[in-house]
Structure 1
Amino acid sequence: MTTQRILITGASGGVAGLLRPRIIAPGRSLRLLDIADPPELSELDSITDSTPDEEIVIGSVTDLGLMEQACRGMDALIHLGGLSVEAAADDIVDVNIKGTITALEAARRAGVPRVILASSNHAVGFQPRTDRPIPADAPHRPDTYYGLSKVAMEGAGRMYHDRFGIDVICLRIGSWFAGVSDLRGLATWMSPADGARLIEACLRVESPGYRVVWGISRNTRRWFSLDEGEAVGYHPVDDSEIFAPALIAEHGEPDFDADAALNRVGGPWTYVELGKRM
């Protein structure tokens, strides 16, 4: 049986911790790259009895030589590496933007045919919530330097597909967590199981070219379209509504007119004062 070899950057992060135990499978090898050792599988929410075939690489996504070496022999790159919160512009540019370009260039040099990029709802953070699901190709309206880095990520992915023919799928992730902690999350949540379903669909789909897909579950209160995900074979099954009774009992029903965080895609990241995020 041919082994499918996948490189995951940002392997010590929270999203990778949700994903890893759910995509381990016979005939699949994972190479895990981060600046720190990833947690042991036993420390994660393991749901598989399969023996993991994993290799660890310590280093930064901004190191082209290391990334090219890590990409050698890989069938796909899942790029989760980078800063996951707002930070100083220089740091965002160095780690997120340079890191993404480095990852794509390393994949090109090593002949990796498919790259999955972890974009974000913050690439369109100032997009207003609407009564219709927002399509995955909604125009860029970044809410922060972090959001701007995801705009750059999507643009870099587009260029590496158009210029070099790499299949690139950008995932505009809503809220990829184990549960929902606020009212906004009822619209933006992606469960760990659905996150794995999305990645599996992106790995399986034949010749996707360049795509942008929302990373959300089948939430009753969702703001984002599922059409683009279904086009690549992603059919989420979980619904954040299971968390709604407790959240509404604590906070009341969402008041979209009173709170900008519930009326813009980026939520609290769109609060501004004198041009600065609060």
Structure 2
Amino acid sequence: MNVLLTGAYGRCGTAIIDHLHDAPSYEFTYFDRNDPDDGEYGEYDTVVADVADAQELRSAAAGQDAMIHLAGFPFADGSWQDVHQPNIIGTLNALEAAREAELETVVFASSNHVMGMYEADNAPELYFGSDAPFRLSDDDPIRPDSYYGVSKSFGEALCRYYVENYEYPKRAHAIRICSVRMPEYDHPFGDAENGADSGEFDRDSEEYEQQVARMKGMWQSRRDFAHMIECCLQTDEPGFEIFSGVSDNDRRWYSIENAQETIDYDPQDNGEEWDAPPE
């Protein structure tokens, strides 16, 4: 399967590279605004372009079977101007390129921020229970917490529109990614350790404990994320689906049942199994 991966060198894209690049089932084309010509990912050929450039994206999509669309402005504190070109125009360009190239599958990087107000209304108490008091599914009303969340809800709606109104793509899966981190912080203590390492707070502080508690609910390990991507690529069921991108954490408040039932998602990690950061 030929797969175009946009936003290849971010946190989620590199998780796919780390876990799926060498899999014999796939031939990846990496598309990113930056070419890491040295370092860990410098060995890979890259289409260096912006997803806001429709022609570049159409050219890259030609001859592909699937697209994993991760590229975009990634921060919840961004303005409308920050998200408009990369997240609105870029996602439109991605789906139009998939339609023109007759790609079977599109996997779209949505975000938990599409539903972020549920967390905002219940934090921080939400983080500290051994089991979450509720589970959010794709059937619950969207409640974006930011322009970023709005842009991702637009992307979900656009995916549905293309699948239901055009012959291609045949299927589109929106993953509401919770918390995927780079390898150094790929564990439920990751955000807390990152904050402590950068001097934002001390390891014996309430802020540190709150970050740990939140990540024990929101963490999706890099291997579980790559596994979910592969599940999306391997299914042959047509249509549009939304999946929560989270590991099998006891205190998660996002449901994974739809992913388990629809694409056989079988996460290996659970934040509750960690009682300290790795040594």
Smaller-chain TM-score range? Answer: 0.7 to 0.9
- Which moves more between the two structures, 131-140 or 115-124? 131-140
What is the alpha-carbon distance in structure 2 between the residues aligned to residue 224 and residue 132 of structure 1?
Answer: 8
* Residue type at the aligned position of 1:140: I
Q: Secondary structure at the match of 2:57?
A: helix
Q: Secondary structure at the match of 2:117?
A: coil
Are 2:150 and 1:142 equivalent residues in the alignment?
A: no
Are 2:65 and 1:75 equivalent residues in the alignment?
A: yes
Q: Secondary structure at the match of 2:85?
A: helix
Instruction: Give the structure with the higher percent strand.
Output: 1
What is the alpha-carbon distance in structure 1 between the residues aligned to residue 177 and residue 98 of structure 2?
Answer: 22
Structure 1 alignment gaps of length 5 or more: 45-51, 248-278
Q: Is the 8 A contact 2:11 2:180 kept in 1?
A: no
Task: Please point out which of 219, 242, 248 is paired with 1:189.
Answer: 219
Partner of 1:173: 177
What is the alpha-carbon distance in structure 2 between the residues aligned to residue 137 and residue 125 of structure 1?
Answer: 15
Q: Secondary structure at the match of 2:91?
A: helix
Aligned ranges for residues 104-119 of structure 1 at < 5 Å? 104-119=95-110
Once the two structures are superposed, what CA deviation does each residue of 1:26-85 show, in whole Å capped at 9, x if it has no partner? 242110001101466x726xxxxxxx9x54101000111110000001111000101110
Partner of 1:155: 157
- Which moves more between the two structures, 6-15 or 113-122? 6-15
Partner of 1:14: 11
What is the alpha-carbon distance in structure 2 between the residues aligned to residue 8 and residue 134 of structure 1?
Answer: 28
TM-score (ref. length: structure 1): 0.80
Task: Please point out which of 40, 45, 51 is paired with 1:43.
Answer: 40
Partner of 2:255: 225
Aligned ranges for residues 195-274 of structure 1 at < 5 Å? 195-230=225-260, 231-243=262-274, 245-246=275-276
Structure 2 alignment gaps of length 5 or more: 123-131, 192-210
Q: Is the 8 A contact 1:154 1:170 kept in 2?
A: yes
Q: Is the 8 A contact 2:144 2:150 kept in 1?
A: yes
| Percent pairwise identity | 34
* Residue type at the aligned position of 2:19: R
* Residue type at the aligned position of 1:134: L
What is the alpha-carbon distance in structure 2 between the residues aligned to residue 171 and residue 11 of structure 1?
Answer: 16
Q: Secondary structure at the match of 1:57?
A: strand
Count, aligned residues: 234
Partner of 2:127: none
Partner of 1:121: 112
Change (3 A) 1:160 1:39: farther
Q: Is the 8 A contact 2:175 2:242 kept in 1?
A: yes
What is the alpha-carbon distance in structure 2 between the residues aligned to residue 38 and residue 123 of structure 1?
Answer: 30
Are 2:46 and 1:56 equivalent residues in the alignment?
A: yes
Partner of 2:199: none
TM-score (ref. length: structure 2): 0.79
Q: Secondary structure at the match of 1:159?
A: helix
What is the alpha-carbon distance in structure 2 between the residues aligned to residue 14 and residue 195 of structure 1?
Answer: 11
What is the alpha-carbon distance in structure 1 between the residues aligned to residue 37 and residue 175 of structure 2?
Answer: 24
* Residue type at the aligned position of 2:100: R
Shift of 1:137: 2.8
Flag the structure with more relative contact order, 1 or 2, with Cα contacts below 8 A and sequence separation at least 6: 2
State the Cα RMSD in Å. 1.8
* Residue type at the aligned position of 1:233: D
Q: Secondary structure at the match of 1:175?
A: coil
Partner of 2:166: 164
Partner of 1:92: 83
What is the alpha-carbon distance in structure 2 between the residues aligned to residue 120 and residue 39 of structure 1?
Answer: 29
* Residue type at the aligned position of 1:116: V
What is the alpha-carbon distance in structure 1 between the residues aligned to residue 14 and residue 221 of structure 2?
Answer: 13
Once the two structures are superposed, what CA deviation does each residue of 1:216-238 show, in whole Å capped at 9, x if it has no partner? 00101111111111121111110
Partner of 2:30: 32
Runs of 4+ more than 3 Å apart: none
Instruction: Give the structure with the higher percent helix.
Output: 2
* Residue type at the aligned position of 1:105: E
Shift of 1:101: 0.7
